[in-house]
Chains A and B, each alone.
Chain A
Amino acid sequence: MLLVVRDLTVALPIGGRLVPIVESVSFTLGAREILGIVGESGSGKSVTSLAIMGLIDVPGARVSGSVRFRGRELVGLAPRAYRALRGREIAMIFQDPMTAFTPVYTVGRQIDEQIRVHQKISRADARSRTVRLLGDMGVPDPERVAGRYPHQLSGGLRQRAMIAMALSCNPALLIADEPTTALDVTVQAQILDLLRGLRREYGSSVLLITHDMGVVAETCDRTLVLYSGLVAERGPTGALFAQPGHPYTAALLDSIPPLHGPRPARLPSIPGSPPAPAERPAGCPFAPRCAYAHEACAVRPALVASGVQDVACVLPAEGRPLPPRFVAEMSA
């Protein structure tokens, strides 16, 4: 396993006490695998990825549990050692490529520098590698684009350039945090296509953080659903979408308006909204909004196997798992 995360807990000081934002998150990521971490705002998906990158720098924050990357423990790693790892073995791309690039240098120069920080090669060699990378990322006329400043590029080109920079040192792990959220759908489709191709071309594993169940379905081998800082469900994407084991996963999928098939008279929606971390219930965090909530839900449910998934819900153990989802035919 490339990455093994065990009981990762991130607590931040809020109102004078440490509040767990993310609690006991566990998952593994294999070589050349794409794992999706999906959740709504405040679910803790970005905090999880920042903790793996060692980028939680809030004073008084506490990160506990274990993050083993290629067998090496990252929790508690010295900042210096973390810096050597980031950019070379683990790279990250964000929603807004403008945050990854400085506006004062050309895109090509910034990618050249990134390469030269980690490897002793000449400027000319670095540039030819940069141009090749940009070309691989589907950038038309990569030589010209390398000579341009970030603001001169379209959103899609900037995102491709950022992915090129992230891949410049052949990282084993790419963490992509909402990489397509700011893009239009036709450009999003291009970038997702690119991400799917990375493992083939570069042998990279990808941790994809997103709020969009559609993006997960089309991109990820396995999926981890977070709700209020806790794992609700995890498993192979196909099984998880065909027969979700957690009522939250099922309700979330149901609330997405379908693009094909009959139009529902009303969209099934989830009543209420997720609890703030400081107000998370002691039992199942989804219980207050769950159609299946009962007495047993007053105790925080452990992750248990349900089919090929792991589900933090008492229903499978009670012998009444959720039914498979009805999905309308895709063809019109």
Chain B
Amino acid sequence: MTRLPVDSPSPLIAAQDLRMTYRVGRGQVLRALDGVSLSVRPGEVLGLVGESGCGKSTLGRCLLRLVQPSAGRVVFDGTDITTLPERRLRPLRQDMQMVFQDSYAALNPRRRVGDLVAEPLRVHPAPGGGRRSRADIAARLAELMDLVGLPQAALTRYPHEFSGGQRQRINIARALALSPRLVVADEPVAALDVSIQAQIVNLFMDLRDRLGLTYVFVAHDLAVVRQISTRVAVMYLGAIVELGEADAVLHRPAHPYTAALIAAVPEPVVRTEGLPPPLRGDVPSPIAPPPGCRFHTRCPVARDRCRVDPPGLRALPDGREVACHYPLVGEGH
């Protein structure tokens, strides 16, 4: 695995105080993202984890400007793309691609795989300007099939002729067609059976090593995220509650929510001791998030201060950031 020095080059993509609000009627406002800041360095894999409604998918889409954030900035490779007009954003789009959860919905069922994967090559100009030749496109398609482990014969077939895992390979081939630098993958293995999921996770890791890709990997499955990520951001109700090196965050969580999330994962191991008591209650509505710390209503270690004083993200000595007044990992560590 390629390891990057900690003070490596400037971030490939950064979000600064991103906010995404939706009006939901009766004057109510849903805060899908409530001030999110993060940066991803080249070659990194940032895992975005959290439960449904935490804002992880919205954040992924904002980063690629598939949706326009309500406030805040997204900077891609030094360029502020938040308000860039579509005409000027378009050349940058080649560098940032997305892979979605539903491999079938993402592919037009009436077109052959070759056409689907070639589409970005036809839409975007060749590196030197001008259109790509048929021969160039055919050669690139052949390369892409090899890259994602599909036979060349796949190019003349239709999406429904493939299994879910193979369809996800097709989507990955299409995302890679223009040699992007950043890939945002939104739950790319969530719909797959475990035995197939392992194949696709391995493929993502191989591609990163071979092509030097940078990923933002959105997933609810902590074990999958740990496998693939170098850093992890844990989200709860539209905000990041913990952000740091994957091993630090998932082995010695500092935020009580991260700890609860890890404890709740059913592991394929029969335990001799009893299970920890589950977290109580449901995630509160993002329309009316609780005052103070947004996790205090379910937090097993909440104190009075947590009910009134919202904690901001702050750095711990080991470099990770946590939004908690009383982190589980001591300040002295």
Q: Footprint of B on A, CB under 8 Å?
A: 40-41, 140, 154-157, 184-190, 192-193, 211-219, 237-238, 241-242, 251-253, 255-260, 263-271, 273, 327, 330, 332
Contact = CB atoms under 8 A, between A and B. Distances in A.
A172 to B, nearest CB: 26
A237 B193 CA distance: 21
Contacts of B281: 140
30 contacts: A40-B194, A184-B220, A185-B222, A185-B265, A186-B264, A186-B278, A186-B279, A186-B298, A189-B263, A189-B275, A189-B278, A192-B266, A212-B266, A217-B268, A218-B275, A255-B195, A256-B268, A257-B198, A257-B226, A257-B227, A259-B222, A259-B265, A259-B267, A266-B202, A267-B201, A267-B202, A270-B195, A273-B163, A330-B267, A332-B251
Nearest to A219: B266
A259 B202 contact: no
A332 B268 CA distance: 17
Contact of B267 (A140, A214, A242, A271): A214
A332 B227 CA distance: 16
The 5 A-B pairs of least Cβ separation, nearest first, read A214-B266, A269-B198, A189-B278, A184-B51, A270-B195
Contacts of A238: 270
Contact of A263 (B198, B227, B264): B227
A282 B117 CA distance: 37
Contacts of B252: 332
B165 interface: yes
Contacts of A330: 267, 269, 271
B26 to A, nearest CB: 15
Contacts of B197: 255
A154 B281 CA distance: 10
B223 A257 contact: yes
Interface of B: 1, 51-52, 163, 165, 193-199, 201-202, 205, 220, 222-224, 226-227, 247, 250-252, 260-271, 275, 277-283, 298
A227 to B, nearest CB: 10
Contacts of A242: 270
Given A218-B271, A273-B195, A330-B269, 4 more contacts: A41-B193, A212-B266, A237-B270, A270-B198
Given A267-B202, A330-B271, A186 B260 contact: yes
Contacts of B195: 40, 251-252, 255, 269-270, 273
B282 A154 contact: yes
Nearest to A273: B163
Nearest to B52: A184
A156 B282 contact: yes
Given A257-B227, A332-B251, A157 B265 contact: no
For B223, B267, B268, B275, the residue with the greatest tally of chain A CB atoms inside 10 Å of its CB is B268
Contact of A185 (B51, B201, B224, B247): B51
Nearest to B189: A257
A210 B224 CA distance: 19
B306 to A, nearest CB: 18
A259 B250 contact: yes
A112 to B, nearest CB: 25
For B194, B227, B261, the residue with the greatest tally of chain A CB atoms inside 10 Å of its CB is B194
Contacts of A258: 223
B266 A188 contact: yes
Contacts of B205: 266
Contacts of B52: 184
Nearest to B263: A189
A259 B247 CA distance: 10
Contacts of B226: 257, 259, 263
A332 B253 CA distance: 10
Given A217-B266, A269-B199, A257 B224 contact: yes
